[in-house]
Amino acid sequence: MSDRIVGAEVIVTSPTRNFVTLKVTTDDGVVGYGDATLNGRELAVASYLRDHVAPLLLGRDARRVEDTWQYLYRGAYWRRGPVTMAAIGAVDVALWDIKGKTLGQPVYQLLGGPVRDRVLGYTHATGWELPELLDSVREKTEQGFQAVRAQMGVPGLDTVYGVDREARAYEPAGRGAAPVEEVWDTDAYLRSAPDVLSGLRAEVGPELRLLHDAHHRLTPQQAARLGRALEPADLFWLEDVTPAENQEALRLVRRHTTVPLAVGEVFNTVWDCQQLITEQLIDFVRTCVSHAGGISHVRRIFQLAELYQVRGAPHGPSDVSPVALGASLHVGLSTPNFAIQEYMGYDPLVHEVFPHAWSYADGHLTPGDAPGIGVGLDEALAARFPYEGAYLPVARRRDGSMTDW
């Protein structure tokens, strides 16, 4: 048997969202898939893969997963960054997929086997005011979810990222040639959020895990103030409470609140979150398989985190494909300090384009037992949905200046 790579193809499709998929083929016909989706910059990663990485893969031994990771990371002068790490991550996941298929085993078995039977998942609930938010949360709990991220509107604003005035479901990215610009008011948010979330907790009781995302928009002082004010709401976590590029900022937040902190969905390497982990400035690290170098590198991040009692909780919105979610679930099933997996869900069309073995039931996800990652790609169907520009909104303060996110 030979495992030389003879093909590396980049497939871009947009069945309601843009997805970038790497298809790697060996000379004995085994195909592996990796997700390289980077929302709002999808074509940059597609070009990076097609023009710079795919030619390097031809002729390489697909069995040498770690060596290929090191080759792609160390072999380029320019390291790290979201485009590079998304490309490397796609290759890594595709090679793990091939390895599992070649050996006839699901990837989690190759990672040491399961340490749990299933992976806890959380989804999103939204409502402009508390009554609508409560209805949305109850809808999710009726679907079996035991953990729910709750996002609400802000008094005096017309739009808020992650919340739709008219519907309980929302699509984060808007189609178009440029991002929508929204107005943001931090003071109004800080006044209203604690009351809404505490009110929600009073209605749903103590057992439901409630999460909330501040979307990087606060200064360290504001973040500390919010964390302290949210302690009565007994959150499972407060996410992205301040931009974490300034990692020392989390020290101030830590000193003033006991609310668990989750950070890292925009991080791409272990070095991005090293200080946050080793100084125990966070409780959950949110690096995503498709944005942080694939299975191989995310495992390294979580292994470092385990030493400091920080738990893995990967990013998993609708703009990472079912390939990435499947890979993340294999990591989750085999990683001791894996806490929870974000699962927004997908449009039914996405499930058709990416048939998969992973499944959701009763608040939990499982990767399935198909060899490899267990996610395929219907290329004929994917070809019917070409790329369309889509961007997350950006926000400006009332004076017209840009927010940090």
For residue 348, pLDDT beyond 70? yes
d(CA 391, CA 405): 13
Q: Give the number of other Cβ atoms within 10 Å of residue 181's Cβ.
A: 12
For residue 70, pLDDT beyond 70? yes
8 Å CB contact between 82 and 38: yes
Mean pLDDT over 32-54 rounds to 97
d(CA 121, CA 393): 26
| Bridge partners, 149 (sequence order) | 124, 211
pLDDT digits (tens, 9 = 90+) for 292-333: 999 999 999 999 999 999 999 999 999 899 999 999 999 999
Q: Where are the domains of the chain?
A: 5-106, 110-369
**Residue that wins the pLDDT comparison between 77 and 94:** 94
Mean pLDDT over 344-367 rounds to 97
- pLDDT at position 94: 98
- pLDDT at position 65: 98
Number of H helices, E strands in the chain: 14, 17
pLDDT-derived band of residue 205, with 50, 70 and 90 as boundaries?
Answer: very high
- pLDDT at position 268: 97
Give, rounded to a whole angstrom, the gap between the first and last alpha carbons of the chain: 50
For residue 135, pLDDT beyond 60? yes
- pLDDT at position 103: 98
- pLDDT at position 234: 98
d(CA 373, CA 367): 8
Strands of the sheet containing 5-13, edge to edge, are 5-13, 19-26, 31-35
d(CA 13, CA 353): 9
Cα-trace Rg, the chain: 21
Pairing relationship of beta strands 364-366 and 311-312 according to DSSP bridges: unpaired
Q: Between helices 82-103 and 65-74, what is the axis angle to 10°?
A: 170
For residue 171, pLDDT beyond 90? no
- pLDDT at position 405: 64
- pLDDT at position 382: 98
d(CA 194, CA 197): 5
- pLDDT at position 95: 98
Cα–Cα nearest to 162, from 234, 211, 231: 211
- pLDDT at position 164: 80
Same CATH topology for 5-106 and 110-369: the answer is: no
For residue 1, pLDDT beyond 60? no
pLDDT digits (tens, 9 = 90+) for 154-166: 999 999 998 988 7
pLDDT-derived band of residue 173, with 50, 70 and 90 as boundaries?
Answer: confident
**Model-level pTM greater than 0.85?**
yes
For residue 170, pLDDT beyond 90? no
| Minimum mean pLDDT range among 259-273, 356-370, 391-405 | 391-405
8 Å CB contact between 93 and 324: yes
* Topology given in CATH for the domain delimited by 5-106: Enolase-like; domain 1 (3.30.390)
Active site residues: 161, 215
110-369 maps to CATH 3.20.20.120: yes
Pairing relationship of beta strands 181-184 and 119-127 according to DSSP bridges: unpaired
Q: Please work out, in degrees rounded to the nearest 5, the angle formed at the alpha carbon of residue 291 by the alpha carbons of 17 and 149.
A: 65
Kindly report the average pLDDT of the chain as a whole number: 96
The percent of residues above 70 in pLDDT, for the chain, comes to 99
